[in-house]
Amino acid sequence: MTRIRNDLFDPKEGLDRGRPFWVEALWYTLKCLLFLPAWPVPSKLKCAILRFFGAKVGRGVVIKPRVNIHLPWKLAIGDFTWIGEEVFILNLEPVTIGAHCCISQRAFLCTGNHDYRRLDMPYRNQPIRIEDGAWVGAQVFVAPGVTVGSEAVVLAGSVVAGNVVPGMVCSGNPCRPRRPRWAQDLRSEHMLGDSCEHEIC
């Protein structure tokens, strides 16, 4: 027998959904029709819908097909940012994405968590912040409470459980800094380790 009691879980503890049920139901309907399918719905239309539901969306934002946004009123996206195909933004808490960012295919920004130290597994959610000019690569997992620093690059498939240093190329599980992003910040070939020519985002 397990000590865990999922039957005692209270979905209202530690979570403010932010809108009435009917608003969330309307959003889910439009999401299923216009955001989750593969057909190329114009980004301008999708941005307008997100703004209607309370998201803060800047100019020139590109949102590819099959993007899954949980609660748009808890989302902010800066100017000229790209959101790639099949990105999942589980924003039970606010997700803030800066200007000129790239969130690549199948990246998962996950603000949701549970407290495994308690038998009833209550929510333990935290916000996520992606700062200006950062690139989150394909199939990267970004954990609750993380800040990805300005102009940082997180390489494909990484698991980001802690804050990412600004201006650094980072990778791995757990994700760690590997080298500066910009050539003028490189001090020596010895510091760099492996060549970056085969790195993938």
Q: Say which residue, 195 or 2, is predicted with more confidence.
A: 2
184 — pLDDT class (breaks 50, 70, 90): confident
Q: Is residue 5 part of a domain?
A: no
pLDDT digits (tens, 9 = 90+) for 86-102: 999 999 999 999 999 99
Which pairs count as long-range contacts for 155-161, CB under 8 Å and 24+ apart, including other chains? 155/199, 155/200, 155/201, 156/104, 156/200, 156/201, 160/136
Query: Domain containing 137: what range?
Result: 14-180
pLDDT digits (tens, 9 = 90+) for 2-51: 999 999 999 999 999 999 999 999 999 999 999 999 999 999 999 999 99
Q: Give the CATH number of the domain where residue 70 resides.
A: 2.160.10.10
111 — pLDDT class (breaks 50, 70, 90): very high
pLDDT of residue 188: 46
Q: Is residue 176 part of a domain?
A: yes
Q: Over 80: is that where the pLDDT of 200 sits?
A: no
pLDDT digits (tens, 9 = 90+) for 129-177: 999 999 999 999 999 999 999 999 999 999 999 999 999 999 999 999 9
189 — pLDDT class (breaks 50, 70, 90): very low
Q: Is residue 199 part of a domain?
A: no
127 — pLDDT class (breaks 50, 70, 90): very high
Residues 6+ apart with CB under 8 A from 65: 35, 37, 38, 39, 40, 41, 85
pLDDT of residue 196: 56
Q: Is residue 133 part of a domain?
A: yes
Q: Is residue 62 part of a domain?
A: yes
Place of tokens 């690569």: 137
Domain count, the chain: 1
pLDDT of residue 201: 72
Q: Is residue 185 part of a domain?
A: no
Residues 6+ apart with CB under 8 A from 46: 34, 35, 63, 67
Q: Is residue 92 part of a domain?
A: yes
Q: Is residue 121 part of a domain?
A: yes
pLDDT of residue 198: 59
Q: Over 80: is that where the pLDDT of 57 sits?
A: yes
